[in-house]
Structure formats: C-alpha cells, structure tokens
Structure 1
Amino acid sequence: MANVLHLASNGCYGVMLHGGTELEDAEIKKMLQTYGKVHEIQRGGPNCFVYFKEYEEARGCIDALASDPKFQARPAKPRETKEKSDVRETRPMRRDPSRKLRSKSEIRKEDFDRITFNTERTKIEKERHLTFAPDCIDVYRRTENRKSTTTDTGDRLNKSQRFSNSRTSKEFQRNSDNGPPHLIHCMDLWMDFILREFGIRNAVEVILGNLPLLSNMQKIYALTSTFVDVINVVMVERGHNYSPYAKVFVTSHDDANILKQRLHHHILGGKRIFVQFAENLIM
C-alpha cells in the first residue's frame, strides 16, 4: 500500500518529495514538466508535495525519482485535516436542537427548496453556454424566439406546480372509488419534472458512500464533474456521528461506470469512498 496513489480532495494525485524545499515553484515545475503538467505545489516541513491531474503523470514521476537520493519520491498519503477534528467537537453545539422536533414534511420541504435552487442554477448556466454554442445538441428543446432567463425560470416553476397539481388530481380521481388517495412524495414529482424538462429519460443514480464529514454538495459536484457531466448532486446527512453520502445523477451508464472506476475505494479526506449504483441497492 506504500506505493498506491490516492486521489486527493482537490481531484489530483499527489507525489511527496523528501527535499527540494530550497527550490522555487517555477524551478520545480520546470524540472517535472517532462512527466506532465504540475497542477499544484504545497510545502510542509522538509517535504514538498506536487499534484498532477493524471494518474500516469504522477506514477511516471514517482518511478523516475523514487531512487533519487535527493528527492526519494513517494505517493502522498492523504490524511484528515485538523479542521475536521475541531469541527467534530463543536458541531453538536452549532446544530439546531429544534431539528429533531420538526416534522418530516418540513425537512422534506427544505430538501425540495435546495434541489430546486441547484437545478435551476445548473440549467441557467447550461442555457447561457448553449447561447454561444448553437451547433451543440439542444437538450432543452429551445424555440427560435426564446424568452429571457428570468421569465423562462418563472415559467418552468409554474409548469412544475401545474404538473404536480395535475398529477395529484389524477391520482385522486383514480383512487376515489377505492378509498383515500395514495400519498405522493414531492421529491418524486420534482425529479419527474426535472427529467422531463431536461429531455433525459434514462438518468442513472450513483451513490457515493463513506464521505468525509465536511463534504458538501459543491465539493462533490466539483469532484465528480471533473470526470463526467453531472446532472445534479443531492447530499444526505445521517447525523453528526455518521458519514454522509451523496446521490449523483448522470446521463448514462457509461458515465456511471467511469465514476465507479475512478472513485471506488479512493481515499478522500482520510475516508475510503464506496461507489455503488442505486439500481443495484434496490431489493
């Protein structure tokens, strides 16, 4: 395990050099450019940590400098930061004590508002990108005379409300003769609306488990989007004593396999990530 390369929290592979602290960053980059592009350089005591984007570049640097007595290159060992231990001690004090007393419907409404904001922001950014790239595939089925972004966002929210009301009404009519209607989870309605508006029929849900306690939606989105196109990320917290996990939605099984190949059993913030497909977890 000493020579195993791990994926750091910045999405790169780290190489530790026992020496070279007297060299400037520019000199180190110039010396290591034969192995690949250096993404970041960090210094800690007598050691120097160099990060490469590609696995092959980091491995080539280690193989070439491992026997060099001046550098003795080794894979950088990921570890938990001190910030995490501090937060773990103070987190119970910052946690809202009234959260346990709130109903499940209020908590679901907070999750609904959070995914609404993230989805609308992602969609607006993609529409701006499509404005400058007219030759790419239009996954939103835009019309020739598209309205402004603000008006279009309001229309989509109105469509979501009408779609939810219409579906609830149909469910009530269909079950009125057999008793009270079945309850419909608002998250199911919203995900159906997202997939229909995005023009995606076969979205694949990937579960990232055993994440560090400081993980959030932005960090997981930045990490996964370096490998594939991500539709959305939903964080699920299970309490301050348990590691959270994330639901990552991608467009195809190929992208899901890439995520599992690149992230399964990789170390992130001192935690070994486990990647599974949601469809395999449903019994």
Structure 2
Amino acid sequence: MQFSAAQQSYQHSGIESNNIDNVDSMAAMAHRGKSLPGIPSFDSHSSKRQWQLEHMAGAFRVFARNGYAEGISGHISVRDPEFENRFWINPLGVHFGMLKASDMICVTLNGDVVAGNMAGSINAAGFQIHSAVHRSRKDVHAICHTHSIHGRAWSAFGKPLEMINQDVCYFYKAHSVYSDYGGIANESSEGQRIAESLADGKAVILLNHGLLTVGETVDEAAFLFCLMERSCQVQLLADRTEFEKKNVSEKEAAYNFKMASTPETLFAEFQPDYQYEEYLSGNTFKS
C-alpha cells in the first residue's frame, strides 16, 4: 500500500482544547508531593557544556544497555551552548558502552573539527544528518539516531506509528516518515531530505534505516528514542494478532501529548535511566 505525503507526515499543529492549556504538566506528575526537578540553569557556558557532555555520555550508556549499538553506526549530537554553529558528536568506532564525556568531538556545521577529542574521527553519514537537522532546526539542541532492532523492523513498512496505547501518544502528530531512502547518508542531500521530513516534529521514522529523535536536551531526545524503539516493538507485536486494535481517541491522544511531551517532562522521564547509569558506573562516564 502506498501512502501520500499527508498520510505519512504526522506533525504537531497545536492543541485547541482549552481545558488543558493552563495545566502545569510537571506539577501534575506528583500527587501531593514536590514537583520533579526540571532542566537546570548554569552560570557559564563551560559548566553547561560539561553537563551536556556528561548527559550525552550517560545516554550512550543507556543505549548500550538497551542493545542499540550496531557496528560503527549510530550517533548522538548536542549543540554547543556557546557557539550555535557547532555541535558535539561521538567518535567513530567506539562502543556506546565505553564512551565518556571527554571522548566527544566538537565540529562546526561546515565540518571543521574545532574542539574536544581531536584524535578521533566522526561518522561521515552521521555528520551529514546531524548538521542538516541542527542547521534547519534552531530549537533542536540534541539529536539521537541508531540502528535499533525494532525501529529498523518497523521502518520497512514506511508507516507512522498508530496511537494504540498511552505511551505512544507522546508522538501524537509529532512524528513523520521519511520515505525516500537514498542509501547511506554520505551526501549532504540525503541529510537535508531527512531534515525536511522531520520538519517541526519530535521524531522521524527513516524508511529501511531506523529512527531519529530530537529534543531541547539530550535527555529529551534520548528518552524519546528509547520510547519510540519500544513503541515500534509494541506495534509489531500488536500487528501479529488477528484481533482488531482499538486506537486511543483523538481527544485523549491530544491530552496525553499535551501532558507528557514538554521538554521539561521528557527531561524528567529520562532521569531514572541516567541515574541508574551513574549508579552502575560510579560516574566514570563523566570524566
């Protein structure tokens, strides 16, 4: 079955329901308790940069534990807090489970390596994808892309995820399908087409390739990636049965998205995984 561009593209266009516009989603998470800590602020670019790199390394450790590594494929990037035209990305050929904050490489949107691990190299296809998205989306500060198993399996259908449970509603009208697979993204044109398909959404399913998620923080992008990978797994499991699926209604899906998909709430969602990596590693990934 062929899908039109309109059918393939799920973009968030705003929620019109007036009764939830003024709800504090962070406060609503806790019943009779303190709100969870939100995204911290920093006194200097250097302190924010170090925090970003630590959380980036922590996200890679989470990805390793979840089995998202596949050879030398896969990358996370974070925009530099001081220089808008620079981003940090992982070195080529280092397992996700071994990465530390000091391993990351800073590169300009034009491809010049300017800081960080100057002895390392970066994935050429990763640079084309991440530079195109960072260039086109000023609001995006972090991008995650790996060749996870269920994401790759679901990507073969070239279809968006269905709103078949509460959690997948985090992507309600906020994800798209890139249906023009052009091989390994070594050319800038492929990265640009992926960025155009993402548009103003939170995630894109790359036909015959995998998943890509974005966020205001690396924590947000990483949590969304883990959630999208699991959502692909759930979709594949649900589609194996002969029973009719019952989708979440448009009204409830919009409510779930409004309550759960702010940068602050998605940052908070990732903290248990990040803290578990701190516990497992004794904070060694922060060096």
TM-score of the superposed pair, with normalisation by structure 1: 0.26
Q: Which has the larger radius of gyration?
A: 1
TM-score of the superposed pair, with normalisation by structure 2: 0.26
